[in-house]
């Protein structure tokens, strides 16, 4: 049978999958919503999703993937083609043109009979999925902006021990701009700091975990990543109130001193800085617990060679070896600027701090960051001792 590409669309290869995408999306820098949304620069994020979903479904079969805002199906098609344990998918979008493109691409990839397509609002779609017998094992929530209102409907549709990935693209409030918006959408404050990326990921996790807790469930973060345009978290969903009750002490605050850069976590906000005595600004209430499950990340790493995705090895290795606390890091180039010196290699600073008796590791959240329980004075000392030349 002849497969027709819709007018204004073209076929591209991404990973091992053929996608049908708007021609216009390949020519602009800012992806447009009409005729359908597709972001060619999102291929790295989708590569990482493929690794995560393959890791989750490896050694199992019959996994069902669900995408309530699938666009042209870029992530959904890559999942069903590239994650061996995923045998069926349910994909939906409000835009019928996008779903038509996804259907054509499904034919091209030979997976048409493994996908249920629908055109509907995401909430109504998820309510329908929740009432069905066949429940998804993997769910992706990838809206424009904040995912907050979709978390509960998504969780109601999921099975026990399923995997849910959640993206937020409203990075400004998550990163400390518009504090009131952060409070409304994420039930806590963020801060503008050199480690805002981590504060943003933690606030997103906190919102999602609290949504799950309100349904007497729990979301365990297993992997997170971000860039300047998105924050993305992967969780395992477990039912039952006990784990949520036990995790109360893993919520709290990260207080930051704008004067000297000291940072601290605690169960109530700190008002004054123990290094310089000036007042601190807090972010929270937020998730202070683990962001990476080392076993899950090891599974992702094990998928790299087969998928020829070596470029993600360093990121994943760093995530697998990263300290789970404190819930912040120090970004060395920012610290070096404040000292008027050149920055030094994060690996050397980690070594120096460990030699001085502190806990320290690299962080996958920022290639120039060092996660450590040392005070800022100690990190400055280590950086000064390693900085090549004064600027
Ligand atoms: C960020 S895009 C998703 C991209 C997709 N995950 C991918 O991998 O390319 C968001 C999608 O949500 C769809 N959308 C927006 N509002 C919606 C709603 N209320 N219900 C369902 N889909 C919606 C848009 O049409 C768009 O395709
Ligand atoms: Zn201070």
pLDDT of residue 227: 87
Res 390 pLDDT > 70 = no
Report the alpha-carbon distance of residue 277 to residue 291 in Å, rounded.
Answer: 31
Token pair of 67 as six digits: 């995408």
Rounded to the nearest whole angstrom, what is the distance from the C-alpha of residue 61 to the centroid of ligand 2?
54
Res 281 pLDDT > 90 = yes
pLDDT tens string 7-19: 999 999 999 999 9
Report the alpha-carbon distance of residue 328 to residue 315 in Å, rounded.
Answer: 17
Q: Is the CB of 124 under 6 A from ligand 1?
A: no
Rounded to the nearest whole angstrom, what is the distance from the C-alpha of residue 98 to the centroid of ligand 1?
9
Q: Whose CA is nearest to atom 12 of ligand 1?
A: 69
Q: Whose CA is nearest to atom 6 of ligand 1?
A: 70
Res 391 pLDDT > 60 = no
Rounded to the nearest whole angstrom, what is the distance from the C-alpha of residue 390 to the centroid of ligand 2?
24
Tokens 């202070």 belong to residue: 288
* Average pLDDT over all residues of the chain: 95
Which of 45, 143, 146, 150 has most ligand 1 atoms within 8 Å of CB, for mutation? 143
Rounded to the nearest whole angstrom, what is the distance from the C-alpha of residue 17 to the centroid of ligand 1?
20
Q: Is the CB of 65 under 6 A from ligand 1?
A: no
Region 304-326: mean pLDDT is 93
For residue 46, which phi and psi values (nearest 5 degrees)? -70, -35
Three-class DSSP category at 171: helix
pLDDT of residue 61: 87
pLDDT of residue 307: 82
Three-class DSSP category at 305: coil
pLDDT tens string 341-380: 999 999 999 999 999 999 999 999 999 999 999 999 999 9
Q: Is the CB of 144 under 6 A from ligand 1?
A: yes
pLDDT tens string 78-128: 999 999 899 999 999 999 999 999 999 999 999 999 999 999 999 999 999
pLDDT of residue 389: 65
What share of the chain has pLDDT > 70, as a percent?
99
pLDDT tens string 33-49: 999 999 999 999 999 99
Longest CA–CA span in the chain (Å) reads: 74
Rounded to the nearest whole angstrom, what is the distance from the C-alpha of residue 40 to the centroid of ligand 1?
15
pLDDT of residue 3: 77
Contact indicator for 91, 61 with CB cutoff of 8 Å: no
Angle at 128 between CA 46 and CA 170, to 5 degrees: 40
pLDDT tens string 123-158: 999 999 999 999 999 999 999 999 999 999 999 999
pLDDT of residue 28: 84
Give the confidence band of 1 by pLDDT, cuts at 50, 70, 90: low
Burial of 53 (0-12, 13-18, 19+ CB in 10 A): buried
Which of 50, 69, 73, 157 has most ligand 1 atoms within 8 Å of CB, for mutation? 69
Token pair of 157 as six digits: 């549709």
Contact indicator for 257, 270 with CB cutoff of 8 Å: no
Give the confidence band of 31 by pLDDT, cuts at 50, 70, 90: confident
Region 291-301: mean pLDDT is 96
pLDDT of residue 102: 98
Three-class DSSP category at 347: helix
pLDDT of residue 32: 87
Q: Is the CB of 148 under 6 A from ligand 1?
A: no
Lowest mean pLDDT among 140-149, 161-170, 239-248: 239-248
């Amino acid at each position: 049978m002849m497969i027709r590409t819709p007018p204004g669309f073209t076929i591209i290869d991404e990973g091992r999958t053929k996608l049908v995408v708007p021609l216009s999306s390949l020519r602009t820098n800012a992806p447009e919503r009409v005729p359908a949304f597709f972001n060619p620069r999102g291929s790295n994020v989708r590569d990482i999703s493929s690794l995560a979903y393959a890791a989750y479904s490896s050694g199992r079969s019959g996994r069902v993937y669900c995408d309530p805002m699938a666009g042209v199906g870029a992530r959904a098609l890559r999942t069903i083609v590239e994650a061996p344990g995923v045998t069926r998918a349910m994909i939906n979008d409000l835009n019928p043109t996008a779903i038509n493109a996804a259907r054509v691409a499904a034919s091209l990839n030979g997976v048409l009979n493994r996908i249920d397509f629908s055109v509907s609002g995401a909430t109504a779609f998820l309510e329908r999925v929740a009432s069905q017998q066949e429940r998804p094992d993997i769910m992706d929530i990838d809206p424009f902006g904040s995912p907050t209102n979709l978390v509960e409907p998504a969780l109601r549709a999921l099975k026990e021990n399923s995997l849910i990935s959640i993206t937020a693209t409203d990075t400004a409030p998550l990163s400390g701009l518009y504090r009131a918006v952060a409070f409304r959408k994420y039930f806590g404050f963020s801060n503008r700091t050199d480690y805002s990326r981590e504060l943003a990921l933690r606030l997103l996790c906190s919102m999602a975990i609290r949504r799950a807790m309100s349904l007497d469930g729990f979301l365990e973060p297993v992997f997170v990543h971000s860039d300047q345009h998105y924050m993305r978290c992967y969780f395992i969903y477990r039912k039952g109130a006990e784990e949520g009750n036990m995790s109360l002490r893993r919520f709290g605050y990260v207080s930051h001193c704008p004067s000297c850069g000291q940072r601290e976590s605690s169960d109530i906000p700190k008002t004054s800085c123990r290094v310089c005595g000036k007042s601190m600004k807090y972010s929270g209430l937020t998730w202070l617990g683990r962001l990476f499950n080392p076993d899950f990340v090891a599974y992702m790493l094990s998928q790299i060679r087969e998928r020829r995705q070596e470029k993600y090895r360093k990121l994943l290795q760093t995530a697998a070896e990263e300290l789970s606390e404190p819930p912040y890091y120090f970004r060395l180039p920012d610290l070096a600027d404040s000292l008027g010196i050149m920055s030094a290699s994060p690996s050397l600073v980690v070594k120096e701090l460990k030699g001085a008796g502190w806990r320290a590791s690299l962080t996958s959240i920022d290639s120039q960051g060092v996660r450590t329980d040392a005070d800022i004075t100690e990190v400055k000392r280590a950086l000064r001792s390693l900085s090549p030349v004064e600027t």
